[in-house]
Chain A
């Protein structure tokens, strides 16, 4: 009798959880059809074209991997190896390179405020929104053939499974098994194709609850914060390697961003 009762009680909860999931999917579909992220793209394009720094130059000659000024589809091929800096770079670090090289700005000034807030977004956030928007619909084709790209991939994989911090977490602690969630937030398995393709193609994203556009560097930064780690250096080798590992794992899927999240 007791067993019957507990089964009956379990059903409404399961049904409720399913309804909640449907509503969340509906909400996400609505967000995908019109998002404040597009306003960030508009302002990002203006900043891309704005002459700045001691050299009074815009970023329009910036090489994001497809040649100077070629923006369409560039994000779907990042991170990648760059000859001029002799290293694998993600979008954010490449923008910093262009700010210093083309505009003559100091690295310190260019990275002074990379994460903004709702009242005052950061320049980096606007630029990132614009660039990633120009890869909308492009198939992810992140290169992984140059020795340094391969090294970044292998390092990124190690970083993903590295257990440390006050609470002994690795990325895999949460993102290592399918159909798991933290509270009510579903967790994609980022080290495998299906999960990486689902998640990586909708970041960077506008976060409705914060009214801000959040970049990939921010996403990694805030993961580590919640993992009870110390803070990673902005655009460090570890974070770029991790990004490269996840991006390569997502290859083949169309990039959809910038996304819109809860």
Chain B
């Protein structure tokens, strides 16, 4: 039921730039519809959890997350996954370019 995700991870000087696009309605308490929003986002680098984010209804539909990881090397496996309040989830994996 989840829409597509897209991710780009590129190596810069001393850090890795990660950009993730997620498809999600992020329906908030302001609408008349049942709540449906991403509650947590987890980032793993080569299998090790490096980011655990608790996010809220304040984030808009189809979120775009951009963040930096210290260090990293070409070919590193980055995995980003999310879990929403309905228990739905999605994830994407990419190698650092």
Total contacts A-B at CB 8 Å: 34
Q: How many residues of A contact B (CB 8 A)?
A: 13
Give A66-124 interface residues, CB cut-off 8 Å to B.
118-119
Contact A39 B61 (CB under 8 A): no
Q: How far is the CB of B76 from chain A (nearest CB, A)?
A: 19
From B8, B21, B62, contact of A211 by CB (8 A)? B62
Q: How far is the CB of B9 from chain A (nearest CB, A)?
A: 12
Which residues from chain B contact A119 at a C-beta distance below 8 Å? 25
Q: How far is the CB of B36 from chain A (nearest CB, A)?
A: 11
Give B2-40 interface residues, CB cut-off 8 Å to A.
3-6, 8, 19, 21, 23, 25
Give A12-44 interface residues, CB cut-off 8 Å to B.
30, 33-36, 38-39, 42-43
Q: Which residue of A lies closest to B66 (CB)?
A: A34
Which residues from chain B contact A208 at a C-beta distance below 8 Å? 60
- Cβ-based interface call for B64 (8 A): yes
Please measure, in the bound complex, the distance between the C-alpha atom of A107 and the C-alpha atom of B3, giving whole angstroms: 28
Please measure, in the bound complex, the distance between the C-alpha atom of A158 and the C-alpha atom of B25, giving whole angstroms: 42
Task: Decide: A43 near B4, CB < 8 A? Known: A118-B61, A208-B60, A211-B60.
Answer: yes
Contact A34 B19 (CB under 8 A): yes
Which residues from chain A contact B4 at a C-beta distance below 8 Å? 39, 42-43
Annotate A46-75 by CB proximity to B: 1 below 8 A, 0 otherwise. Answer: 000000000000000000000000000000
Contact A36 B25 (CB under 8 A): no
Which residues from chain B contact A211 at a C-beta distance below 8 Å? 60-62
Contact A36 B62 (CB under 8 A): yes
Q: How many residues of B contact A (CB 8 A)?
A: 14
Please measure, in the bound complex, the distance between the C-alpha atom of A119 and the C-alpha atom of B19, giving whole angstroms: 24
Q: How far is the CB of A170 from chain B (nearest CB, A)?
A: 35
Please measure, in the bound complex, the distance between the C-alpha atom of A65 and the C-alpha atom of B25, giving whole angstroms: 36
Contact A35 B60 (CB under 8 A): no
Contact A39 B23 (CB under 8 A): yes
Please measure, in the bound complex, the distance between the C-alpha atom of A217 and the C-alpha atom of B25, giving whole angstroms: 25
Contact B19 A33 (CB under 8 A): yes
Which residues from chain A contact B23 at a C-beta distance below 8 Å? 36, 39
Which residues from chain B contact A38 at a C-beta distance below 8 Å? 6, 21
Please measure, in the bound complex, the distance between the C-alpha atom of A118 and the C-alpha atom of B60, giving whole angstroms: 12
Q: Which residue of A lies closest to B5 (CB)?
A: A39
Known pairs A36-B21, A38-B6, A39-B4 / 15 extra A-B pairs, C-beta < 8 Å:
A34-B19, A34-B64, A34-B66, A35-B64, A36-B23, A36-B64, A38-B21, A39-B5, A39-B62, A42-B6, A43-B4, A208-B60, A211-B60, A211-B61, A211-B62
Provide 19 A-B residue pairs closer than 8 Å at the C-beta atoms, listed in order of the A residue.
A30-B66, A33-B19, A33-B66, A35-B21, A35-B64, A36-B21, A36-B62, A36-B64, A38-B6, A38-B21, A39-B3, A39-B5, A39-B6, A39-B21, A43-B3, A43-B4, A119-B25, A208-B60, A211-B61
